[in-house]
Amino acid sequence: MFFRALKWGILGVLIIAVMVPGGALLWASHTMNGRIVALACLALGLCLGLVGLFRKSPARWWWCSVVGTGGVGLILSGLALIRAPDGRTVESDRVQNRYTGGGWHFQRYALGNIVPELDQFRLGFSVISCIDPLFDRSQAEALGRWTTAIYDELEADADFHALGSVMPNAYADLCGEFSSMAIIGFIYLRDSTGNRRSQLSCFCMAAGGILRPTRGCCRRSQISLGAW
């Protein structure tokens, strides 16, 4: 009896940890990758729930359901990994990811890059509106619309999409792990004309420097900027 209760307790925690964020992300997501990740979470959570119903002689429907939901969850997870931006742009592009030490430390398969920034923000707006009395649902919806419009315009640029997200660095910083990571920077080069030299200038930025709209605005205006 104890082990059965322990099994259900562990499975219950895993199911909640997978399905609740998955359902919330599905409700808030705007991008295809966000929806794929959300559906993968729901499928895997349902699979875990079915595993909890295991009996010594399970019916055929149980096996089919476990294999079906687990297979769908794994396929969607793989698809989300394949679609995740790798952070690399062509050398001729005016904005590129750079790291200290000259290495390449982009976290392509981190959850903060697999789930698009836009969907992370939309989910955050929805959650905050439920717990912060000073930030109501109407404000969250308005902010979500404005943010979506900005990201939709930027995502139309294939080079910008390839940059991916460095939000995993921000999350690592919250956990106190950022100091052990290579520092990321973004290089923006002004187009040179004639015999004029291209200029490059750097200045330090706070958290806003890592957000994709900031990079997009600098790229569009051809500002000579390195944000560290």
How does pLDDT run across 80-127, given as a tens digit for each residue?
999 998 888 777 666 777 776 667 778 889 998 999 999 999 999 988
How does pLDDT run across 5-38, given as a tens digit for each residue?
777 788 888 889 999 999 999 999 999 999 999 9
How does pLDDT run across 98-110, given as a tens digit for each residue?
776 667 778 889 9
Distance of CA 132 to the CA centre of its chain: 23
Q: Answer yes or no: is pLDDT of 150 > 60.
A: yes
C-alpha 180/C-alpha 148 separation (Å) is: 33
Distance of CA 133 to the CA centre of its chain: 27
Average pLDDT, the chain: 77
| E strand intervals along the chain | 95-99, 184-188, 202-203, 225-227
State the DSSP code for 228.
Answer: -
pTM here?
Answer: 0.75
Q: Answer yes or no: is pLDDT of 227 > 60.
A: no
Residue-wise burial string across 189-222, b where 16 or more C-beta atoms lie within 10 A, e elsewhere:
bbeeeeeeeeeeeeeebeeebbbbbbbbebbeee
Confidence of residue 207 (pLDDT cuts 50, 70, 90): very low
Quote the tokens at residue 177.
């792990």
C-alpha 121/C-alpha 28 separation (Å) is: 9
C-alpha 32/C-alpha 76 separation (Å) is: 11
Are the C-beta atoms of 70 and 55 separated by less than 8 Å? Answer: no
